[in-house]
Amino acid sequence: MSVNVAVVGATGAVGGDFLQILESRKFPVKELRLLASRRSAGKKMQFCGVDYTVQELTRHSFEGIKIALFSAGASISREYVPYAIESGAVCVDNSSAFRMDDDVPLVVPEVNSREIGRHRGVIANPNCSTIQMVVVLKPIHDVARIKRVVVSTYQAVSGAGLKAVDELLKETASILDGKKGFMRNLFPHQIAFNVLPQIPQSNAFLSNGYTSEEMKMVNETKKIMADNTIRVTATTVRVPVVRGHSESVNVETEKKITAAEVKRLLSGAPGVTVIDDTANQLYPLAINAAGKDDVFVGRIREDESIANGINLWIVSDNLRKGAALNAIQIAEKLL
């Protein structure tokens, strides 16, 4: 069964990946509608060898659309998702707009695909950092029950959009050329050759001292795993990497599970690839995860400071599994 599909935010960082993944996975697209802001309207994008013209997003853009993939920011989703639902579309939203709404499923298909069936017109795609973490945590939780998670992220600048990538590249070139006084537009401090313990880059910090990104990981993990007893604490950091988020994750479990058992467990987990051969210095790297669909995990070892602890190094392409691919997997389940 082929369906009419709309991509909202088609010209953004995730939009291109939407088209590439829809094509590579042979998603049954009958009609494709590319939607973006007025300034992007008229641009050409290719899908399955055909040039498509980007249209301006309006309240009338969804007539005849069955699946709408949104990745244009929370404010756009809040405004236009209701129009899409009113037109009969099911929306898969990549923003934070609806993630924590009680009546909106927050879905990672490898973890909680059954939640899709209770949607009322919109299904939320989790935060990119949360997605790659829970894909790895779920198999462990099912066997040993996770009590506590401590995660530090090392997130690529593409998570902040194409303009952030451009700023990193230009600032890096400026520093290498020996120039001073580079004018930043997005990041509060130099991102080239530096790390920033602040995500997002503006209005990040909450009254509890955490950033909004960190609290997304805390709250979304509990909702996706359907277990509010899991204690989660996060520190999210922006690093000068173009594509691919990395995470250092410490897990405390109720039941003892060895590193060898975790490796065997994750080796058979859907969407997970284990790369863990420290004798040959093999472990997941952002540059190798870029462009790949799986979540990669390595440096699996027991935490010797507690009775039931495991350390993990988790890496994934933030624009694919962390955004576009996860949304399209949800759409495939809808069909």
Structure tokens at 197: 């313990």
- The single residue of 91, 119, 141, 245 carrying the catalytic annotation is 245
Q: How far apart are CA 92 and CA 332, in angstroms?
A: 11
Report yes or no: 14 and 40 within 8 Å, Cβ to Cβ: no
Helix ranges (H only) for the chain are 15-24, 74-86, 109-112, 128-144, 162-176, 212-225, 259-267, 286-289, 325-334
Greatest Cα pair distance, the chain, in angstroms, is 60
Q: How far apart are CA 186 and CA 199, in angstroms?
A: 11
**Active-site residue flag, 245:** yes
CA distances from 228 to 146, 223, 231, 232, 267 (A): 11, 7, 8, 10, 27
- The single residue of 91, 119, 128, 141 carrying the catalytic annotation is 128
Number of C-beta neighbours around residue 218 at 10 A = 17
- 50 half-sphere exposure, CB direction, 13 A CA radius: 10
Catalytic residues: 128, 245
